[in-house]
Every structure is written in structure tokens, then in C-alpha cells.
Amino acid sequence: MTAVVDVRDVTRTFGPVTALDHVSFAVEPGELVGLLGPNGAGKTTLLSLVSGLRRPDSGTVRLFGGDPRDSASRVSLGTTPQETGLPETLRVGEVVDLVSRHFPDPMPAAELLERFGLTAQTRRQTGALSGGQKRRLAVALALVGRPQLVLLDEPTTGLDVEARHELWTALRTFHTEGATVVVTSHYLEEIEALAERVVVVGQGRILADDLLSRVLATVARRKVLVGLPDRAAAQALTAALPSVSEPAREGDRFAFLAADADELVRQLVRLDVAFSDLEVRGASLEEAFISLTKESR
Amino acid sequence: MTTTAPTSTRTQIAEGTLRRAVRLSLVHFRFQFVELTRTPIAVIGNLAFPAIALLFFVVPQQVVSQDPVLATAATAQLSAFAIASTCMFSFGVGVAEDRAKPFAPFQRTLPVGAVPPLAGRVLNGIVWSYIALVPLALVGGFLTQATLTPGRIVPGLLAVIGIATPFTLLGLAIGYAMSAKAAIAVVQLTLFPLAFAGGMFMPPEIFPRWLDAISTLTPTRGARELFVSATTGAPLESVFVVVLVAWTAIFAALTTIAYRRDEGRNYR
């Protein structure tokens, strides 16, 4: 079966910035893929190539086996406007109507708005909607054409917890109905809630591509902060534990990123170092990405 | 394993390419028009200038304003300017502003090629040109001896299409090629010299020969001659038609290239 998305050895630069660096990435029908990475990692650029907005400098991009720059290749594609970019003066019903007229078999506007809880807002101008309503309408616009592939770029940015969960439920429902979904996020929580397969993007490259559980294990790091007599002591610790990152100075203490913080603490005791002020906490996603980036070099 | 790939059992109406392009052009026209009417000041601001020019520069000149032939020609040439100005500012600069909004890249991901959004803009250029002529027709009709015989109405209305099309396309080419701020400056630097050289402010009969030769090759001169001829019945030399059609083709090609090259906001 043809892959829904097939990106091969793609490079794209913006002036001096390399947004994507020889990236290959494929999505099969029915998958629910999360693209995870910090801001500026290249997620949005990757989606813009798949949706035909931009051209790669080198490499090939295929959407349903065709060139995404050809409008015919995009008949089964659904995307959302970024941020909350809707035409402010148009009414909700009008925006849905405008988009639906591009598709051969669109969902009736009433059904779509009902599904996203926007029926009461049909006659309102989009500029008068709340942030949450705008976001819901943006996601609804991705589904108007009954797409086989939906690309969602940071779909819940700026939403409160409740609205975020509602949107996730709507997306999961849509996926169980048979659609392929690719969602980007820089929130681990969002990817955990939605994705089955996770692709970690950082500095324009794919750092990990695996099942959610395996990626979580890789990304889940603990940060250990501890006061040590000198750098030699810190290096002795990392020498004994290859999975621990190189020590970094943080205030008076040394910081380590470790997959297994308990083992690090045991090693500290075993080495009989005079340590002080020990603190163990979850590493942020950014910190985990940095360690992944270093490992993949 | 989750659900299998959807196999569309729905019957898809095979719509002809041309039919679909025409239908979508009208869809784009309609929604662009609705958006413009919701913030009409954007367009109306551009409508006032030509009527004011007529009021201050033509009406007080008795020699021109009290002569039916001269007054009609003066109103017609400023009308041609009004059309060019409306099309270039509203749709040239307008598209550059729209392009900066996040809805523009979203629209580009819809299954639609270059023609419908561009054709929708050109149709809007034509419709708003008719609106732009209303104040000029009022000033010209009531305050000068300019006349439009019933037989000249239809040629006049048709001529608007021939003028609005190339100038909307020129505006679009500029609007798709650069940012809104740059587009405003470029439209001004393009429109006013062209309008002067094309005899939209001063009749080309008073031009020196060298200027007249340059003027003949400009799209504005073609537009002026077309509109003066359509509204007064004066003969139209074929060279002006050829030049105007050639510019229309060039502007259409430039617009299509600029649209295809456009990737939204550029990062540097």
C-alpha cells in the first residue's frame, strides 16, 4: 500500500538556517503519529512541505503518492490554520462554507459545528470568538473535507486544560473512524495523550522514531543536582556510569541528566564522595532533547 | 493495529477541470467580496482621489468643463485612472496584507490551484471598478458638460473589464512578490508615473513626440484610449488594443509566477 506521506532525504534551508537536514519520514494509512520537538526544531517546516506550502531544497516529498504542490494531491488532506488565524470579518458558517466548497464530499456544516460545539456561534464573526472557540473552529476546518490525512500543527496551543481534553477526544474519535493523523506538539503530555508512534525532531533532524512507550523511556530523564568537591569527582561519577550525561556547572552544584537517577545516587555513595545538597527532579523536555541531540552526534 | 485505511465508498462526482475552476473562482470571488464589504473603508478610501482630482483640476477650467467633448474625455481619462488605482491599491497591496495573515497559508493547503483565487481577485477588481466610477460619473455629469449617450453605456461597461483585468493582475504580481510595506511603495512608484505617461492626468495630445512614443507603449495609455473611445465614440487605434492585450498577458504570467513562488512569510 502507498504510504500516505513519504518524505525522502529532504533538506530545506531558510537563509543561513537549516530547518531540515536530510530528513526521511513516512506515514502509513491509519497511523496516529506525534511529531515532538522544541520550538524551532523543524516540525512546522516538515508539515509545510507535506501540505505543499513549501518546496524542499533537495529530496522528495510525496503525499498519497503525488506531489503535494499539485492541488489534486491535496483532495484528501486536512490542515488547520496556524495560531488562530481566521478571517475576522467572516462568520463561522461562512468560513466553513468557503472551505467545504473545495472538497468533493464535504461534511455538512451543521454536523461539523455540532461536533465541535460551535452550533450557537454559526452566525458570529470569527473575530468575536473566544480563543478556545477559534481553536476548535480551526481544527474543525481540517475535517470539513472528510480527509484521509489530517496534519495538526500545535492544535491546542493556548487552550485551557478542559478545552484541550475535549479537542483530544474529538481527534481520537476521528482517528478511530479511519483517518491518519499527524500532530505536532512541544508538550509531551499532548503527544502522550494522542500518539501511538512518536517522531522526535530536533535541530532539523529526526532524533528518534518509535512507539510512544519506547520514546518516552528515552526522553524521560531525571536531572540530578549535587554539590561535589571538584570537577574530578564529577567526572569520576560519569566515568563509572556511561548513560549519564557530562556534568554541567549549575550554580554551586553539578547537574547530570540520567535515565536512572537511583543508580547515580547509589554510585555517589559507593564512590564515597563528600557530596551535599542533593536534588533529583524530572528533566524538562528541552533538557532531554539536548541530551538526545548530543547522543545522536 | 488500529482501524484499516478508509476505502471511500462514497460516489465522487467527477467534476470537469474547467467547470471546477470556474465554480471555485466564483466561490473565491464571493468570499473576497464579502470580506471587503465588511471593511469597506479599505476600498472606499481609494475611490475618492480621482473624483477629487476631477473636482479641483477639471471643473474650474471653464474651457474644458464647459466643452462636452473635452469634458467627457477629461472625465474618461480620470475614470481610467480610477480603475487602475482601485485595482492596484485594493488588490495589489491588499493581497500582500492578506498574505501576511495565517489564514493565507491554510488556504494554500486546500485542493485548489493558482487560477481560482487569482480569478476571484480579478472579478473583484472589475466589480469594485464599477463602484469607483460612481463618484466620477456624478461629478462629471453634474458639474461639467461631460455626457454619456445611451449608446455608449454598454461599450463603457465592457471597457472597464479590459482595464480592470490588467491592472488587478499587475497589483497581484506586486502583492505576491513582496511584503505589504514594500508593495505600497512599489504600487505608488509604478502607478503615478505610468498614469502620467499614459495621459490619465493630462491629455496626450499636448505631449511632445518623444513622450507620446513612450506613452503609446504603456498599459495606462492603452487603458485611457480604450475608455475615452468607449465613452465618446472616438476611433480607437489598433496599436493601443495590441499593447493593452500584450500587457495583460505579461501581467497574468508575472502574477502566476509570483503566486507559485510565494511560500507565505519569508524567514531570513
**What is the pLDDT confidence band of residue B11, given thresholds at 50, 70 and 90?**
very low
Domains of chain A: 5-218 (3.40.50.300), 221-295 (3.30.70)
**What is the pLDDT confidence band of residue A297, given thresholds at 50, 70 and 90?**
very low
Q: A83 contacts in B (CB within 8 Å)?
A: 102
How buried is residue B208: exposed, middle or buried, by Cβ count under 10 Å (0-12/13-18/19+)? exposed
Distance to chain A for B8, nearest Cα, Å: 9
Q: At what angle do helices B68-86 and B150-177 cross, to 10 degrees?
A: 30
Which H helix or E strand runs over B163? helix B150-177
A2 touches chain B (CB under 8 A): no
* CB atoms B103 and A81 under 8 Å: yes
Which tens digits make up the pLDDT trace of B25-72? 999 999 999 988 887 776 677 777 788 888 888 888 888 888 888 899
B9 touches chain A (CB under 8 A): no
Q: B17 contacts in A (CB within 8 Å)?
A: none
Q: List the one residue out of A223, A209, A171 whose CA is nearest residue A193.
A: A171
Distance to chain A for B260, nearest Cα, Å: 9
What's this model's pTM, rounded to 2 decimal places?
0.82
- What ipTM does this complex have? 0.82
Q: Give the total residue count for chain A.
A: 297
Give me the residues paired with residue A227 across strands: A276
Which tens digits make up the pLDDT trace of B190-242? 999 999 999 998 888 899 999 999 999 999 999 999 999 999 988 999 999 99
pLDDT at B14: 58
Q: What is the DSSP letter of A129?
A: S
Residue A267 scores a pLDDT above 70: yes
A239 Cβ partners below 8 Å, 6+ apart? Answer: none
Which tens digits make up the pLDDT trace of A224-259? 888 888 888 888 888 877 777 778 888 889 888 887
**What is the pLDDT confidence band of residue B189, given thresholds at 50, 70 and 90?**
very high
Residue B174 scores a pLDDT above 90: yes
Q: List the one residue out of A122, A118, A131, A54 whose CA is nearest residue A90.
A: A122
pLDDT at B62: 85
CB A64 within 8 A of CB A109: no
Q: Look up cell 483640476; give the residue.
A: B57
What value does the mean pLDDT take over residues A187-209? 85
Domain boundaries, chain B: 17-261
SS3 A30: coil
Q: Are strands A32-36 and A197-202 parallel, antiparallel or unpaired?
A: parallel
Residue A11 scores a pLDDT above 50: yes
Which H helix or E strand runs over A209? strand A205-211
Distance to chain A for B266, nearest Cα, Å: 8
